[in-house]
Structure 1
Amino acid sequence: MCGRFVQTPIRDAASLGFPQLVGDLLSMPASYNLAPTQHASVVLDRGEGLQLQRLAWGLLPFWAKDKKRQGSTINARIETVATKPAFRSAFKKHRCLIPMAGYYEWSVSSEDGGKDPWFIHANVPLWAAGLWEDTSPLLAPDNLGTFTVITGDSSGVSADIHDRMPVWLAPTQAEEWIAAAPDEAMAMLLAADVPSMEAYRVSRAINMPRNNAQALLQPVA
């Protein structure tokens, strides 16, 4: 799964395929420990072209009756994203990309049996495939909507830490991914390339969502 991730302003955005978002990506708020229910920047299209909007993490389908559902919908498995009731409507018409500077996963420590967090990242911004829904009456009136991150089997350095990881798309695929028919969108997910990534262990301070500082990205021995 993907349970925490990092977003930072994207300074080299001119060549990403959506020049209209360069300014928004450059001014994107930095967050070094994004946790479920918190707000993150998401690339989507509400029918007026690509936009960067702040949505709450944890997708609430239009029929949801309980806000607690957000805790179980932060990730959508590629195997069931097109058929699971919580996601199938959004998969048909509300796809998005979530820019990430990296994400965290945990492994069991051989020293004390606790869980050590690892920061997994690339030398370029990562773009996770996702879904979004419009705001819910269960949320605050100023909320613009909710989102989930699509995950698949892990590979590369991620596979040494966890068996699941986000499905990554190229930013130049944004418009195609959002507009594609469901079958075409699934084909894009299944054909997605995994970027070359690195991982290093970081402080257990990230286990507390209130901790949110650039220092969290420092490697620990």
Structure 2
Amino acid sequence: MCGRYAATKDPATLAAEFDAVDDTEFYQPRADYNVAPTKDEITVVQRHPRDEEGNPDPSTTVRSLRVMRWGLIPHWAKDKSIGSRMINARADSAATKPAFKSSLAKRRCLVPADGWYEWRREGKAKQPFYMTTQDGSSLAFAGLWATWRDKSDEQAEPVVSYTVLTTDAVGPLADIHDRMPLVLPREHWARWLDPDLDDVSELLVPPPLELVSALELRPVSSAVNNVRNNGPELLARHEPEPADLDDPSLFDK
């Protein structure tokens, strides 16, 4: 699964890296070393631009950065609390799930990340690891998004939310956890974001072993277990002491 990740790059940097325009508007960028569900984060989408009357231009598309809330809220949901249970979607079944199948066909996004955290069970305790690139480039998680409106409050702003697709862990990652985010290689970004492509089944497979083998799998401090902790020290390599693993109070995921 993917329940926590790091996203520290500013919109200008991400716009250059993902060849996108910055459409984050009034978003106040800040480095987030402990992204947790229900937070607002930057995603990448590609859509047909619309004119003043809302009509899309089918002849072109624009790739842009958008801010969304982590935890997909289906358009038919009665309230937005369901989003906290929709932070991940299995790549192998998203096409058949009512909450995700429409988004998989029409509303796909990329979720930029410096890296993500996963916990390996060691006896009764869990050791956190941070998975990241060795060259500092961003990872791109395959994501789905949706727009939800509160029908009980016509004045309320619509909520745009996303979920991260997961797949079977590959290579050394399987020694930490059996699931991982669906990380898309750069050569798959354009097809994944293409708003006119409604069948992306060939992309819903685990990433190539070469991509995974190039990642650093770094043990980190149990401080990341607490969502209130948020700083660059969370990314530092930390070889656990026996006492770290024996204290269950350190885990608050």
Give the TM-score category using the shorter length: 0.7 to 0.9
Secondary structure of 2:166's counterpart equals: strand
Normalising by structure 1, what TM-score? Answer: 0.85
Aligned counterparts of 1:44 and 1:28: Cα–Cα separation in 2: 18
The Cα shift of 1:109 comes to 3.0
RMSD: 2.8
Q: Deviations over 1:51-96 (max 9, x none)?
A: 1111110000100113331122111101111110010111111000
TM-score (norm 2): 0.75
Structure 1 pair 31/83, CA: closer, same or farther in 2 (3 Å)?
Answer: same
Q: Mean alpha-carbon deviation: is it higher for 191-200 or for 5-14?
A: 5-14
Q: Over residues 7-29 of structure 1, what are the superposed CA-to-partner deviations in whole Å (9 max), with x where a residue is unaligned?
A: 121787687462545x99xx953
Is the CA contact 2:71–2:163 (under 8 Å) kept in the aligned structure 1?
yes
SS at match of 1:33: strand
Alpha-carbon separation, structure 2, partners of 1:19 and 1:71:
28
Matched, 1:122 2:141: no
| Counterpart position of 1:93 | 106
Equivalent residues of 1:135, 1:144 under 8 A apart: yes
Q: Is the Cα contact below 8 Å between 2:20 and 2:63 reproduced in 1?
A: no
- For residues 175 and 146 of structure 2, the distance between their equivalents in structure 1, rounded to whole angstroms, comes to 33
Q: 2:169 aligns with which of 133, 141, 154?
A: 154
Q: Could you tell me which amino acid in structure 2 is paired with residue 150 of structure 1?
A: L
Q: 1:42 to 1:14 in 2, by over 3 A?
A: closer
Q: Is the 8 A contact 2:141 2:182 kept in 1?
A: yes
Greater Cα radius of gyration, structure 1 or 2: 2
Shift of 1:199: 0.9
Count of residues in Structure 1 that have an aligned counterpart in Structure 2: 216
Indicate conservation of the 8 Å contact 1:17/1:172, yes or no: no
2:183 is the alignment partner of 1:182 = no
Partner residue in 2 for 1:5: 5
Name the residue aligned to 1:164. 179
- Sequence identity (%): 36
Give 1:31's aligned amino acid.
D
Change (3 A) 1:188 1:108: closer
Match of 1:217? 235
Residue of structure 2 equivalent to 1:70: 83
Q: Could you tell me whether the CA contact under 8 Å between 1:131 and 1:150 is conserved in 2?
A: yes
- Which residue in the other structure is 1:134 paired with? 147
The code of the aligned residue for 1:7 comes to A
User: Are the equivalent residues in 2 in contact too, given 1:60–1:136 (CA < 8 A)?
Assistant: no
Q: How do 1:33-48 residues align onto structure 2 when only pairs under 5 Å count?
A: 33-48=34-49
Structure 1 71/13 Cα, relative in aligned 2: closer, same or farther at 3 Å? closer
What is the letter of the counterpart of residue 6 of structure 1? A
- Distance change (3 Å), C-alpha of 1:64 and 1:19: closer
Are 1:82 and 2:95 counterparts?
Answer: yes
Name the amino acid aligned to 2:177.
H
Q: Look up the equivalent residue of 1:9 and give its one-letter code.
A: K
Deviations 1:168-207 (A, max 9, x none): 1134533321225332x11122374351212121111111
